[in-house]
Amino acid sequence: MSGPAWVGQGIPQVDMLDKLRGSTKYIADISVSGMLHAVIVRSPVAHGRLHAVDVDRAKKVPGVRAVLTSADTPHRFFGPHANDWEILASEKVRSFGDEIAAIAATTLDAAREAAALVTATVEELPAVFDAREALRDGAPTVWEDRPGNVANSFQISRGNVEEAFAKADLVVTDRYSTNQIYHAYLEPIGVMAEYHPSGSYTLTVPSHIPYKARLTYAGALGVRPDQIRIVVPPIGGSFGAKYEMIEPLIAAVLARDTGRPVRLVYDREEDALIARSRPPFWFHHRIGVTAEGMFIARETEVVGTAGSRVFWSPAVLATAIHRVDSLYNFHNMAGTGALAYTNEAPTTCMRGFGNAESLFGIEQMIDEIGEKLGIDPVELRQRNAVREGETTLHGWHISSSKLPECLERVKEVSDLDNQRRETRKQRGLTGVRRGIGVAIAHHVSGYRPILADYDGSSAIVHATSGGRVTLFVGEPDIGQGQATVLSQLACDELGCSPDDVNLQGVDSALSPDAVGTLASRATTMAGNAVVAAARSARQKLDALLADHWRTTPDRLHREGEVVHFGEQSLTFRESMALYAASNCGLPLLGEGVHRPATQMPDKDKYGNPSAAYPFAAHVAEVEVDCDSGQIRVTRYWAVHDSGTILNPSTARGQVVGAIAQGVGWALMEDVKVDLGRVRNPNFLDYRIPGSGDMPETYVEFVDAYEPNGPHGAKSLAEAAINPVTAAIANAFHDATGIRCHDLPLAPERIWELLTGARAQSPAHDAEEALI
Partner 1 sequence: MTTAAIHEGSMPVTITVNGRTEKAEVPGLTPLGDFLREKLGLTGTKLGCRAGDCGSCTVLVDSVPVASCLMPVAQVGERAVATVEGLGGEGDLHPLQEAFRNNNASQCGFCIPGILMAATAFLDRAEPPSRAEVVDGLSGNLCRCTGYESIVSAIVEAHTLNREA
Per CB under 8 A, residues contacting partner 1 are 10, 12-13, 15-26, 28-29, 183-188, 234-239, 267-268, 478-481, 649-650, 652-653, 656-661, 682-684, 688-692, 694, 697
* CA atoms of 499 and 244, how far apart (whole Å): 33
* CA atoms of 365 and 712, how far apart (whole Å): 33
State the nearest-atom distance from the C-beta of 265 to partner 1, in Å. Answer: 9
State the nearest-atom distance from the C-beta of 685 to partner 1, in Å. Answer: 9
Among residues 238, 245, 275, the alpha carbon closest in space to that of 522 is found at 238
Q: Which is nearer to partner 1, 364 or 497 (CB)?
A: 497
State the nearest-atom distance from the C-beta of 171 to partner 1, in Å. Answer: 39
* CA atoms of 537 and 572, how far apart (whole Å): 12
CA dihedral 315→321→326→329, nearest 10 degrees, is -170
Backbone angles phi, psi at 609, to 5 degrees: -85, -10
Q: Which is nearer to partner 1, 457 or 661 (CB)?
A: 661
State the nearest-atom distance from the C-beta of 234 to partner 1, in Å. Answer: 7
> What are the helix and strand counts (H, E) for the chain?
20, 28
Q: Which is nearer to partner 1, 186 or 291 (CB)?
A: 186
Residue 93 amino acid letter:
V
Residue 172 neighbours by CB under 8 Å, 6+ apart? 286, 287, 289, 365, 368, 369, 372
Q: Which is nearer to partner 1, 77 or 698 (CB)?
A: 698
Residue 384 neighbours by CB under 8 Å, 6+ apart? 293, 294, 295, 328, 329, 330, 366
CB-based burial label for 2 (10 Å; 0-12, 13-18, 19+): exposed
State the nearest-atom distance from the C-beta of 213 to partner 1, in Å. Answer: 19
- Three-state SS for 616-635 is EEEEEEEEEECCCCEEEEEE
State the nearest-atom distance from the C-beta of 757 to partner 1, in Å. Answer: 32
* CA atoms of 476 and 479, how far apart (whole Å): 9
Backbone angles phi, psi at 540, to 5 degrees: -65, -40
Among residues 307, 397, 313, the alpha carbon closest in space to that of 353 is found at 313
Q: Which is nearer to partner 1, 384 or 650 (CB)?
A: 650
Alpha-carbon torsion 345, 346, 352, 356, what sign? Answer: positive
In this structure, the number of other CB atoms found within 10 A of the CB of residue 186 comes to 10
Q: Which is nearer to partner 1, 187 or 641 (CB)?
A: 187
State the nearest-atom distance from the C-beta of 183 to partner 1, in Å. Answer: 8
* CA atoms of 191 and 38, how far apart (whole Å): 10
Q: Which is nearer to partner 1, 67 or 671 (CB)?
A: 671
- The 3-state DSSP class for residue 86 equals coil
State the nearest-atom distance from the C-beta of 109 to partner 1, in Å. Answer: 10
State the nearest-atom distance from the C-beta of 467 to partner 1, in Å. Answer: 19
Q: Which is nearer to partner 1, 342 or 680 (CB)?
A: 680
Q: Which is nearer to partner 1, 225 or 657 (CB)?
A: 657
State the nearest-atom distance from the C-beta of 698 to partner 1, in Å. Answer: 11
Helical H segments across 414-521, by residue range:
416-426, 482-494
State the nearest-atom distance from the C-beta of 61 to partner 1, in Å. Answer: 15
Q: Is cis: bond before 206, omega within 30 of 0? A: no
CA distances for 545 relative to 423, 497, 578, 590, angstroms: 67, 19, 8, 16
Q: Which is nearer to partner 1, 190 or 643 (CB)?
A: 190
Q: Which is nearer to partner 1, 31 or 426 (CB)?
A: 31
